[in-house]
């Protein structure tokens, strides 16, 4: 109880201090504070001004242009861990007593550990494996869509965008009898923890999610070690080179990275098309545009808006000195709106000529391992929706999640009918 009180007080004081800085115009503080967080794109435009490097009073440096984001992500001077021993806790740690042991995942470690962990997980995403996942994704998409469209109105997020990636990643990992509602909860709680622990309530929910996921994976790992199947848990459990804790952490990362993000890709796509009905008509008229449409959503409204890097030695970015072991945030969402990289960047245009690559899947050593799977899921989901919905008819204002790193909707109510458009 005392730990919760201490945590609650610390978080409240921190939040108030950050909000004060935001109200005084600090760009980075604005990205995490209300009301500015709801639409980060004007703040990004400000942060791209000048050299595109910004020093926040929060002692964080941000990089906002496409060129600098790309450079920092590829530059081996920058890692994800500090070298001075002052490690931040792994993103999923609640900070409360009684938590299962949480260690950093591949996303949070540098070479050589990163190279080893990534190499062990990579076979699950080989081109042959990705092709093999197609039929299952199409079947799950058709089933969920049929059920949603049979209703008078449906919540795209709860009825389609969340359960689809959960079904896909559960099949990949070989998790039987998926309890979708529980996984949605874990995903939300863990996804929100990318912003840091938000409240005592969030910390408690995080501890519970960690405990329950760990219990599930410990059981599945024991079963698959004894009796391996064709799934990814079996492959990881029977490979050498992973400690028991790394094995559980890798499974947990794949589960979380695999659905929170893809859910928001689908939600952000549908809402963006709702506001750009001419582009929806264009996609419906030419289904071959679906791959380009997914990439345009990833550029325009990416589910992961930013990531962080830590320089391993004193260095500089575009002439601004950056101290060893300080925090640099790389604004992936801003890179996609940089006019130096994309013409008319604030326009959503699924037919735009191929220009720079968006950075929605990051770049460099930590480039998203699941990107081919995410693209495939996005294409199948969007293609099926375009085939089924002549217009995207929102029946209520969508609800956005109150998170910064993950950008996405918590609710988007649609009518399956062909009536007038809203949004």
User: Site residues (CB under 6 A) for ligand HEM?
Assistant: 106-107, 118, 169, 253-254, 257-258, 261-262, 265, 302-304, 307, 360-362, 366, 368-370, 373-374
Q: Nearer Cβ to ligand HEM, position 342 or 361?
A: 361
What is the smallest separation between the CB atom of 221 and ligand HEM, expressed in angstroms?
Answer: 17
Q: Nearer Cβ to ligand HEM, position 62 or 307?
A: 307
Q: Nearer Cβ to ligand HEM, position 97 or 132?
A: 132
What is the smallest separation between the CB atom of 254 and ligand HEM, expressed in angstroms?
Answer: 5
- Cβ atoms of 377 and 164 closer than 8 Å: yes
Q: Nearer Cβ to ligand HEM, position 161 or 386?
A: 161
Sign of CA dihedral 381, 386, 387, 388: positive
What is the smallest separation between the CB atom of 373 and ligand HEM, expressed in angstroms?
Answer: 5
- Cβ atoms of 69 and 299 closer than 8 Å: no
What is the smallest separation between the CB atom of 379 and ligand HEM, expressed in angstroms?
Answer: 11
Helix H, strand E, coil C: the string for the chain is CHHHHHHHHHHHHHHHHHHHHHHCCCHHHHHHCCCHHHCCHHHHHHHHCCCCEEECCCCEEEECCHHHHHHHHHCCCEECCCCCCCCCCCCCCCCCCCCCCCCCCHHHCCCCHHHHHHHHHHHHHCHHHHHHHHHHHHHHHHHHHHHHHCCCCEEHHHHHHCHHHHHHHHHHHCCCCCCHHHHHHHHHHHHHHHHCCCCHHHHHHHHHHHHHHHHHHHHHHHHHHHCCCCCHHHHHHCCCCCCHHHHHHHHHHHHHHHHHHHHHHHHHHHHHHHCCHHHHHHHHHCHHHHHHHHHHHHHHCCCECCEEEEECCCEEECCEEECCCCEEEECHHHHCCCCCCCCCCCCCCCCCCCCCCCCCCCCHHHCCCCHHHHHHHHHHHHHHHHHHCCCCEECCCCEECCCCCECCEEECEEECCCCCCEC
Q: Which residue has the tokens 């794949």?
A: 254
Q: Nearer Cβ to ligand HEM, position 115 or 238?
A: 115
Rounded Cα distance, 274 and 292, in Å: 17
What is the smallest separation between the CB atom of 333 and ligand HEM, expressed in angstroms?
Answer: 10
Q: Nearer Cβ to ligand HEM, position 207 or 224?
A: 224
What is the smallest separation between the CB atom of 304 and ligand HEM, expressed in angstroms?
Answer: 4
Q: Nearer Cβ to ligand HEM, position 22 or 255?
A: 255
222-242 burial code (b ≥16 CB/10 A, e <16): ebbeeeeeebbbbbbbeeeeb
Q: Nearer Cβ to ligand HEM, position 26 or 252?
A: 252
What is the smallest separation between the CB atom of 308 and ligand HEM, expressed in angstroms?
Answer: 7
Cα 139 → chain centroid? 24
What is the smallest separation between the CB atom of 408 and ligand HEM, expressed in angstroms?
Answer: 10
Q: Nearer Cβ to ligand HEM, position 21 or 265?
A: 265
What is the smallest separation between the CB atom of 50 and ligand HEM, expressed in angstroms?
Answer: 25
What is the smallest separation between the CB atom of 257 and ligand HEM, expressed in angstroms?
Answer: 4
Q: Nearer Cβ to ligand HEM, position 197 or 307?
A: 307
Q: Give the residue at shortest CB distance from ligand HEM.
A: 370
């Amino acid at each position: 109880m005392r730990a919760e009180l201490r945590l609650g007080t610390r978080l409240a004081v921190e939040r108030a201090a950050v909000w004060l800085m935001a109200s005084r115009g600090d760009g980075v503080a604005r990205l995490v504070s209300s009301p500015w967080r709801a639409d980060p794109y004007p703040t990004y435009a400000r942060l791209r001004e000048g050299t595109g490097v910004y020093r926040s009073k929060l002692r964080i440096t941000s990089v906002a242009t496409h060129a600098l984001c790309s450079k920092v992500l590829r530059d081996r001077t920058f890692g994800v861990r500090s070298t001075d021993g002052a490690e931040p806790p792994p993103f999923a740690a609640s900070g409360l007593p009684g938590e299962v042991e949480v260690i950093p995942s591949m996303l949070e470690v540098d070479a050589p550990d990163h190279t080893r962990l990534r190499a062990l997980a990579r076979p699950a995403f080989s081109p042959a494996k990705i092709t093999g996942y197609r039929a299952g994704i199409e079947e799950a998409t058709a089933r969920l869509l049929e059920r949603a469209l049979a209703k008078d109105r449906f919540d795209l997020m709860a009825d389609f965008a969340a359960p689809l990636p959960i079904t896909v990643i559960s099949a990949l990992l070989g998790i039987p009898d998926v309890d979708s509602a529980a996984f949605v909860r874990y995903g939300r709680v863990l996804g929100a923890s990318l912003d840091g622990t938000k409240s005592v309530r969030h910390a408690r929910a995080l501890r519970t999610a960690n405990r329950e996921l760990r219990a599930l994976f410990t059981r599945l790992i024991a079963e698959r070690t004894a009796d391996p199947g064709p799934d990814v848990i079996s492959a990881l459990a029977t490979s050498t080179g992973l400690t028991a804790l790394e094995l559980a952490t890798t499974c947990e990362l794949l589960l979380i990275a695999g659905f929170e993000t893809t859910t928001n890709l689908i939600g952000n796509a549908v809402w963006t098309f709702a506001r750009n009905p001419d582009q929806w008509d264009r996609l419906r008229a030419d289904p071959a545009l679906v791959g380009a449409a997914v990439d345009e959503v990833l550029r325009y409204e990416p589910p992961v808006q930013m990531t962080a890097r830590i320089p391993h030695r004193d260095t500089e970015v575009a002439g601004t000195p950056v101290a060893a072991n300080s925090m640099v945030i790389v604004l992936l969402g801003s890179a996609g709106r940089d006019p130096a990289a994309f013409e008319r960047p604030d326009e959503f245009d699924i037919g735009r000529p191929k220009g720079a690559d968006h950075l929605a899947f990051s770049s460099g050593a930590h480039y998203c391992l699941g990107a081919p799977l995410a693209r495939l899921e996005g294409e199948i989901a969007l293609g099926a929706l375009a085939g089924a919905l002549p217009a995207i008819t929102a029946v209520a204002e969508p609800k956005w999640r109150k998170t910064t790193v993950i950008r996405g909707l918590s609710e988007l109510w649609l009518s399956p009918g062909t009536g007038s458009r809203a949004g």
